[in-house]
Amino acid sequence: MKEFDLIGRYFSAGGHKRRDVVIGIGDDCAVTMVPENQQLAVTTDTLVADVHFLRDAPAKSVAYKAVAANLSDLAAMGAEPAWISLSLSLPAVEETWLSDFVSGLYELTQYYSVQLIGGDTVKGPMAMTITAQGFIPPGSELTRSGAKPGDWVYVSGTLGDAGAGLDILQGKLDVSGEARDVLINRHYFPTPRVAVGTAMRRIASSCIDVSDGVISDLKHILSASGCGANIHVDRLPLSRALTSAVTQEEAIEYALSAGDDYELLFTVSEEQRGSLETSIASSNVKVTCIGQLTGHSDKLMLYKNDEKYEPKQSSGYEHTF
C-alpha cells in the first residue's frame, strides 16, 4: 500500500472534529486556532516496539497507550488536550493491525475531544511518535519546580497495576482469574488523568505524571523544587487486584518502582488542602496523601509503620544509551 493510500484509508476521514482546526490532514501543515487568553502546551513522546510496548501487544492497546502517554503529560501540566499529530513507522502494512490501531487511537481521542491533525507514515522499525497540544489559562500551569517544604504529597488512583500486568504478560508473575484481567488491562489501557490535572490548577504547587515509578518521578519534583520528602509506603494506594495477586511487600515494590501507571503525583500546601477536596470531587477520581515534603534538598526517606523502609529497587525505569 502506498503512503497516501494508507493515510487516506485509515487516518483522513475518521476521529473527532474540532471547530478550532482550520486545516487538518491533507496539506503540508495543519492550521489551528488557539483560543484567546490561553497558552499552548506541547509535548512529544516516542514509543518503540520491545522498549515501550510488547511487539505482540494488541494493536488497539498500542495506539491507546501512545495517546494516553501524551495526554498524561498534558494533564500533569494542567492542560486541556486539543490536538495530536502522529508519525508512524511500520515494517509492513497489515490491514487488520492498522484497523485495530486506528480503533484504539480514535476511541481515546473521541473521549477527550481531541483531533488528529496530521503527521507522517514511513516504512521502518515499528515505532510511533505523537505530539500532543493543549490549552492552559495563563498563570495556572503546573510545573515540577513550585513545591515547598511542608507541602503534602498526593497521588491519584492506584499504583503498581501496570507493572504487575507487564510481568504477567512476560511470564514473570503467575496470576489467574479476574485479577489477571484487571492488571493486564491497566497495562494495556492506562487512563490519563486529565480531569485531575485541570482541577489542580492554582491548587497544586507541583505535579508530574507517574510514567517511570513513584520513586523516580518524585525525585524529579524534589530536584526541581529543592526539597526532600518523607513518604509512607503503607499509605500507597493499592488496588484490590494487585493485593490479591501478590504479597503486601511485593505490591509496595510495584507501587514504588513500576512504571506506566500514568497517575498524577502532585503536592499541595496546607492552606490548599481544603480546596483540593472540593476541586477533586468533580473528577470522580480518588487521591491519596502519601507523605510530606521537607527542607532537606533531594533527600527522599521512606517509612513503613513509622520505621525506615528500604526498597529492593531504588529507582524506576530509565533509558540508557
Q: Which residues are annotated as a binding site for Mg(2+)?
A: 28, 43-45, 73, 120, 209, 212
Residue ranges of the annotated binding site for ATP are 119-120, 144, 211
Pairing of strands 204-209, 115-123: unpaired
Take residue 173 and report the three cell numbers written for it.
508473575
Residue 310: exposure state from Cβ atoms within 10 A (0-12, 13-18, ≥19) = exposed
Take residue 129 and report the three cell numbers written for it.
511518535
Helix/strand/coil percentages in the chain, nearest 5: 35, 25, 40
66-89 in b/e form (b: 16+ CB < 10 A) is bbbbbbbbbbbbbbbbbbbbbbbb
Give the span between the Cα atoms of 116 and 21, in whole angstroms: 10
Take residue 29 and report the three cell numbers written for it.
501543515
Give the span between the Cα atoms of 195 and 282, in whole angstroms: 8
Give the span between the Cα atoms of 81 and 84, in whole angstroms: 8
Residue ranges of the annotated binding site are 28, 43-45, 52, 73, 119-120, 144, 209, 211-212, 260, 317
The SS3 of residue 45 is strand
Whether the CA torsion 214, 217, 219, 224 is positive or negative: it is negative
Q: H-helix or E-strand containing 105?
A: helix 95-111
**190 and 47 Cβ atoms separated by less than 8 Å:** no
